[in-house]
Amino acid sequence: MPSFEFAQPTSLEEALQLFAAPGEVRALVGGTDIVDQLKTGRRNADMVVDVKRIPELQRLESTDDGLHIGAARSCTDVGEFPAVRSTYRALADSALLIGSWQIQNRAGVGGNVCNAAPSGDTIPALLSHEARAVIASASGRREIALSDFFAGPGQTVLQKGEILVELILPSPPANSASSYLRFIPRNEMDIAVAGVGSFLQLDPANNTVKKARIALASVAPTPVRARAAEEALEGNVLTDDLIATAASAAVEAATPITDVRGSAEYRRELVRVLTGRTLGICRDRING
């Protein structure tokens, strides 16, 4: 392992001073990406800052303004949190299928976001719930839509000195549900060939779609929203035909590459299939 300084701050203020220091300062949550990246030289660090002992980054709370997920909370903590299991089910689906049990126990949802892999499993789920990212630096705070957070494979809009503090997911309205599915060649322990997170809100009076949010993983340089599919759904009566139309429209947002995990054509087909299935699961979950 290359050499680096190590710090374990216990307050956000102390951490932000460390991140403001010159050189490459990297946040450590579960280490399941960054430790391997440091070992293999895919990322470098002059200082590694373990952010798990900062109280704000361990927040996990459901309040009137939504669900607050501190950036250092593990996938296991988040996926098993009662409000997530009942109300933000795409997030539970995704947080509890990342890697292995060992990985879920260490890896943070915030870490998965900041690693910014196009395949990050929690990201479509968070995007489907319109998550917002609270970012802090020594000079202040800002809050942005998570859909504006990603800049490319492994790249985010975080500037020097900034860290992710928490994610905020607005409280979902009544008659809504979400779902995340990914395709891998086995049942566990793999990187998504494609992943889809969907959120649906229905009007129970006439079964029309009031709101739809669909996000895709592993089919573009960053996780992306499938806006044409959302538009195809909203305002229309939710039928199997409408789901099929939306599923086909979701493919428009996919700009996949061909690699060892699958061809571009195969990935586009997976987007269609998984979008249709997640919408069906949302419908079933709403209808209980």
Partner 1 sequence: MKHISMTVNGDQHELLVDQGWTLLETLRDHLRLTGTKEGCSNGNCGACTVMINGRTANSCLVLAAEMDGNEITTVEGIASHGELNAVQQAFIKDGALQCGFCTPGFIVSATALLQRNPNPTEEEIRMRLAGNLCRCTGYDKIIMAVEDAAAMLRG
Contact 249, 227 (CB under 8 A): no
Taking the least distance from each CB to partner 1, the nearer of 42 and 160 is 42
Taking the complex as a whole, the smallest distance from the CB of residue 219 to partner 1 amounts, in Å, to 24
What is the three-class DSSP state of 69?
strand
Of these, 14, 21, 43, 106, which contacts partner 1 (CB under 8 A)?
106
What's the distance, CA 170 to chain centroid?
A: 15
Q: Does 30 bind partner 1 (CB under 8 A)?
A: yes
Q: Does 187 bind partner 1 (CB under 8 A)?
A: yes
Q: Nearest 5°: CA angle at 151, between 145 and 154?
A: 115
- Residues, the chain, total? 288
Q: Which of 200, 117, 197 is nearest to 153 (CA)?
A: 117
Of these, 17, 105, 208, 245, which contacts partner 1 (CB under 8 A)?
105
What's the order of all strands across the beta sheet hosting 132-137? 60-63, 66-70, 163-169, 132-137, 140-145
Of these, 173, 189, 284, 287, which contacts partner 1 (CB under 8 A)?
189
What's the distance, CA 149 to chain centroid?
A: 11
Q: Does 76 bind partner 1 (CB under 8 A)?
A: yes
What is the contact mask toward partner 1 in residues 145 to 184, using x (rule: CB under 8 A)?
Answer: ----------------------------------------
What DSSP character marks residue 173? P
Of these, 10, 11, 44, 102, which contacts partner 1 (CB under 8 A)?
102
Residue 286, Cβ neighbours under 10 Å: how many?
Answer: 18
Q: Which of 22, 255, 9 is nearest to 161 (CA)?
A: 22
Q: Does 10 bind partner 1 (CB under 8 A)?
A: no
Q: Which stretch binds partner 1 (CB under 8 A): 18-26, 29-37, 175-183, 259-267?
A: 29-37
Taking the least distance from each CB to partner 1, the nearer of 32 and 156 is 32
DSSP lists the bridge partners of residue 217 as 195
Q: Nearest 5°: CA angle at 113, between 108 and 114?
A: 95
Taking the complex as a whole, the smallest distance from the CB of residue 126 to partner 1 amounts, in Å, to 22
Taking the complex as a whole, the smallest distance from the CB of residue 79 to partner 1 amounts, in Å, to 13
Would you state the structure tokens that stand for residue 73, as one six-digit string? 């909370």
Q: Which stretch binds partner 1 (CB under 8 A): 81-89, 97-105, 166-174, 234-242?
A: 97-105
Taking the least distance from each CB to partner 1, the nearer of 74 and 178 is 74
Would you state the structure tokens that stand for residue 180, as one six-digit string? 């995340």
What DSSP character marks residue 65? T
Taking the least distance from each CB to partner 1, the nearer of 45 and 131 is 45
Q: How many residues line the site for partner 1 (CB under 8 A)?
A: 29
Binding site for partner 1 (CB under 8 A): 1-6, 8, 28, 30-32, 35-36, 39-40, 48, 50, 52, 76, 99-103, 105-106, 187-189
